[in-house]
């Protein structure tokens, strides 16, 4: 077991990294967004939202793959933005990323906890909305407790949770295949492909579907804890996206091939309704328990990766110092884990759709679009950088991914965009105070220190 000089241990292999990614990607996503996507797109044409969302994830995955292989390290995007933009804007961009991630990543995890709590309500039909929120908070506390240990133990838990997730989707897809009715699955309304309504719905559908795919990059946040990261990270990202795309599309189309989409769009527990329709109450109980398991796997692995983001920034002196602390015995960023877990618990009290729109708006410009620009900047300024993997057909995937993210950002709605703008401006103001105190850009010429991560 290789131990890094910074105290972290390289103990996550390809299987475990794939399990971490897929567990975060699957989670509550399909089981809570199917009704919402059907509603915003107005029928089975929602499958195009899922399909195009998968294409965007694959295109963006090529960006993550090159950056992750060239600059593997704890924090992922933080490192990519730091290395690309330090030549002109100092540490502004990585600071803004961590600032946005401070609420966006706990928001992401809270959606899984809320989805889990909604499915738990099947067993307690008289539970109130407020009590459901408290169940989500309880899930958050349990997640933090289980993550409060050394990384090799966490990786084993991730693999076990991933196995339960695979069992869930195999059961759903297998049942859907045996009872699939094409006339239901492809029962398009007459105006389904009318350009104005279709493309208006497509933006909202893509926003929700790409939310379902989020997590294909989780292993990049653990670069200092992954074996042979220069090769493992690109392999795991692509494999995770392809497998989850096949699973999601099969499951989404399969469910509306059993339950009419007009009925499915009104369901709050679509997975339970689907299995109850086929196998009755015993089937509903079994699938609900498995969906709860799958949702928890998503929350667990997402908070695992998210806790490494502020840690790396604080270690660089760019974020609040307590985040840089590692547990003295088990060598994981315990302060970062506890604080993000606290923010996640607070987010559990908000509406699910509001959270999804807000977190997407908060992350798209700084993280996803920023990373695409970072890749181009590093190609130009660091041609000497060792790149075990290079983006196929560069720069075409980057250009298409940038356009796709811009479309999704616009589709998130003005309230979510407004929140993103205000939060980013507050972060920029705080950065200016930090930059003046630390003699950094824009008050002083940025200090350039080239960093090549050990592969």
* DSSP secondary structure, 171-227, as one string: HHHHHHHHT--HHHHT---TTTT-HHHHHHHHHHHHHHHHHHHTTTTGGGGBGGGBS
What does the block give as tokens for 155? 């990786």
Higher pLDDT, 222 or 244: 244
The percentage of the chain sitting over the pLDDT mark of 70, rounded to a whole number, equals: 94
Say what the pLDDT of residue 96 is.
Answer: 94
Q: What distance in Å separates the CA atoms of residue 404 and residue 370, rounded to the nearest whole number?
A: 13
Q: Does the residue 451 lie in any domain?
A: no
Q: Please indicate, yes or no, if residue 383 is contained in any of the structural domains.
A: yes
> Does residue 429 sit within a domain?
no
Mean pLDDT over 133-153 rounds to 86
End-to-end CA distance of the chain: 15
Residue 58 pLDDT grade (very low, low, confident, very high; cuts 50, 70, 90): very high
Whole-angstrom distance, CA of residue 250 vs CA of residue 157: 27
**For residue 163, what are the domain limits?**
2-412
Contact 68, 233 (CB under 8 A): yes
Contact 49, 243 (CB under 8 A): no
Q: Structure tokens of 50? A: 């899922």
What pLDDT sits at residue 136?
Answer: 95
Q: Tell me if 448 is assigned to some domain.
A: no
The pLDDT of 271-285, averaged and rounded, is: 91
pLDDT of residue 248: 86
Residue 447 lies in a domain: no
Residue 384 has pLDDT above 50, yes or no: yes
| Spatial separation of the C-alpha atoms in residues 72 and 324, rounded to whole Å | 18
Between CA 263 and CA 28 the distance in angstroms is 20
Query: What was the pLDDT predicted at 73?
Result: 75
Is residue 310 pLDDT above 90, yes or no?
no
Domain membership flag for residue 450: no
In which band, very low, low, confident or very high, does the pLDDT at 74 lie, cut at 50, 70 and 90? low
pLDDT score of 4: 53
Domain assignment present for 439: no
Q: What local confidence, expressed as pLDDT, does residue 154 receive?
A: 64
Separation between Cα atoms, residue 116 and residue 150, nearest integer Å: 26
Q: Is the pLDDT of residue 455 over 70?
A: no
Residue 416 confidence (pLDDT) above 80: yes
Per-residue pLDDT at 98 exceeds 70: yes
Q: Is residue 26 part of a domain?
A: yes
Indicate whether 199 pLDDT > 70.
Answer: yes
- Residue 453 is predicted with a pLDDT of 46
Which pLDDT tens digit goes with each residue over 15-43? 888 888 887 787 667 788 888 899 989 89
What does the pLDDT average to over 84-110?
90
Question: The domain that contains 351 carries what CATH number?
Answer: 1.20.1740.10
Cα–Cα distance for residue pair 363/89, rounded to 1 Å: 19
pLDDT-wise least confident of 78-92, 211-225, 347-361: 211-225
Interatomic CA distance for residues 28 and 113, integer angstroms: 8
- Total domains in the chain come to 1
User: Which whole-number Å values give the CA distances from 330 to 116, 150, 176, 186, 334, in the listed order?
Assistant: 29, 5, 44, 52, 9
Using the structure block, give the residue that is written with the tokens 């699910």: 352
42 dihedral zone (left: phi>0; alpha: psi -120 to 50; beta): left
> What mean pLDDT, rounded, does the chain reach?
87
Model confidence pLDDT, tens digit, residues 208-222: 889 888 889 888 888
């Amino acid at each position: 077991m290789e131990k890094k000089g910074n105290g972290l241990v390289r103990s996550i292999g390809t299987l475990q990294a794939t399990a971490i990614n897929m567990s975060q990607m699957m989670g509550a996503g399909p089981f809570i967004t199917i009704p919402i996507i059907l509603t915003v797109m107005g029928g089975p044409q929602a499958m195009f939202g899922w399909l195009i969302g998968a294409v965007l994830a694959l295109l963006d995955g090529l960006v993550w793959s090159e950056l992750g292989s060239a600059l593997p390290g704890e924090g992922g995007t933080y490192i990519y933005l730091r290395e690309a933009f330090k030549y002109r804007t100092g540490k502004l961009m990585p600071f803004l990323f961590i600032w946005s991630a401070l609420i966006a990543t706990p928001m992401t995890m809270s959606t899984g906890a809320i989805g889990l709590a909604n499915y738990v309500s099947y067993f307690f039909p008289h539970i109130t909305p407020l009590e459901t929120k408290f169940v989500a908070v309880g899930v958050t506390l349990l997640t933090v407790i289980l993550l409060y240990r050394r990384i090799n133990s966490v990786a084993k838990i991730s693999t076990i949770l991933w196995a339960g997730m695979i069992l869930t989707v195999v059961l759903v897809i297998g049942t859907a295949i045996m009872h699939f009715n094409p006339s239901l699955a492809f029962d398009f309304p007459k105006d389904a492909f009318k350009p104005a309504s279709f493309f208006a719905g497509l933006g909202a559908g893509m926003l929700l579907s790409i939310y379902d795919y989020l997590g294909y990059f989780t292993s990049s946040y653990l670069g200092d804890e992954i074996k042979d990261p220069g090769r493992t990270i690109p392999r795991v990202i692509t494999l995770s996206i392809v497998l989850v795309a096949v699973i999601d599309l099969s499951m989404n189309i399969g469910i509306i091939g059993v339950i009419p989409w007009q009925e499915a769009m009104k369901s709050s527990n679509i997975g339970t309704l689907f299995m109850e329709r086929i196998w009755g109450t015993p089937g509903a109980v079994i699938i609900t328990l498995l969906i709860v398991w799958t949702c928890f796997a998503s929350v667990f692995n997402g908070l695992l990766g998210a806790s490494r983001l502020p840690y790396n920034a604080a270690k660089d002196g760019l974020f609040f110092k307590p985040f840089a602390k590692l547990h003295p015995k088990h060598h994981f960023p315990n302060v970062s884990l506890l604080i993000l877990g606290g923010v996640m618990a607070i987010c559990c009290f908000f509406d699910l759709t509001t959270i999804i729109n807000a977190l997407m708006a908060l992350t798209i410009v700084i993280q996803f679009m920023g990373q695409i620009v970072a890749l181009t900047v590093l190609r130009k300024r660091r041609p000497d950088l060792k790149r075990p993997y290079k983006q196929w057909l560069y720069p075409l995937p980057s250009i298409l991914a940038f356009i796709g993210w811009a479309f999704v950002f616009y589709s998130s709605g003005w309230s979510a965009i407004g929140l993103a703008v205000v939060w980013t401006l507050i972060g920029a103001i705080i950065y200016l105070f930090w930059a003046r105190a630390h003699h950094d850009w824009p008050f002083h010429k940025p200090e350039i220190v080239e960093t090549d991560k050990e592969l």
